[in-house]
Structure 1
Amino acid sequence: MNLNAQDLSKHQWKDRLILIVAEQKNEKFQQQLTELQKHQQGLNERKLVIYQILPEKYTTGFEEENWKNSSELFQKYKAEKSDFRVILIGLDGGEKLEQTEVLSAEKLFNTIDSMPMRQAEIRKNK
């Protein structure tokens, strides 16, 4: 069943994705959610969709319900030597940023804002 890869590919050319991948809901996982929640407007402006990914399930956004049972995304994106990983996936579906520490909204937004497609969006929206 290739449901999850399909789930992510439906975002290509429409949304940027933040994948928050953790072995369990740990401190970094919660800190990352809190950091991103404080910057909703910036997330929306940059067309960011949040995926919370745990070993047996995942959900989108900041909801605590609507979890889907599946381990496929976790298996694909989990960190080799860390119990936490955050990944930015661009509009083209490629990984643009990946780290095993909590990602600041500032670093996230600066990374996205330096991308050619985002520069074009900014020019178009002026």
Structure 2
Amino acid sequence: MIKSVCFFIFIFAFAMNLNAQDLSKHQWKDRLVLIIAQEKNKKFQQQLTELQKHQQSLKERKLVIYQIIAEKYSTGLAEENWKNSIELFQKYKEEKSDFRVLLIGLDGGEKLDQTKILSAEKLFNTIDSMPMRQAEMRKNK
């Protein structure tokens, strides 16, 4: 009986881990912008609209956008390919606000964190001042 229970716990934990989104796969390849909200509220939509205007600049800076709401998440700016998971929301939600934008650098570290709409200008200035981005810009000249 105990072996059966342990086996089912193991299988359940393994299955949950497969469903979990592991952001570390982006480390040293992509910068991430996490847009986190309880639901697709006004700020959430405004943030998406702000970023959609600058898709080429996002690409140049190796930015991957994660849309994260309470029970699911999606990558990119399109309203498709949602995956059911609460883990990213639970990990990154802001306790005192219903909205959060988080920039994660190539090294996996948090570089910018705010609970109001992030302007593309502020996002790009923050990234462009980073040493790795400076090196990328020199290399691409």
TM-score range, shorter chain: over 0.9
Q: Give the letter for the 2:99 counterpart.
A: F
Query: Residue in 1 aligned with 2:72?
Result: 57
Query: Secondary structure in 1 aligned to 2:106?
Result: coil
| CA deviation string 1:78-102 (max 9, x = no partner) | 0010000000000000000000000
Query: Residue in 1 aligned with 2:131?
Result: 116
CA apart distance, 1:2:
3.3
2:28 & 2:106 partners in 1: Cα distance?
5
The reply to whether residue 99 of structure 1 matches residue 120 of structure 2 is no
1:18 & 1:5 partners in 2: Cα distance?
15
Query: Residue in 2 aligned with 1:31?
Result: 46
Q: Give the letter for the 2:132 counterpart.
A: M
Query: Secondary structure in 2 aligned to 1:88?
Result: strand
1:18 & 1:55 partners in 2: Cα distance?
17
Q: Give the letter for the 1:11 counterpart.
A: H
The reply to whether residue 18 of structure 1 matches residue 33 of structure 2 is yes
| CA deviation string 1:65-86 (max 9, x = no partner) | 2100000000000001000000
1:35 & 1:82 partners in 2: Cα distance?
20
Percent of paired sites with the same residue: 82
2:53 & 2:125 partners in 1: Cα distance?
16
CA apart distance, 1:5:
4.8
Q: TM-score, normalised by structure 2?
A: 0.86
Q: Which has the larger radius of gyration?
A: 2
Query: Residue in 1 aligned with 2:92?
Result: 77
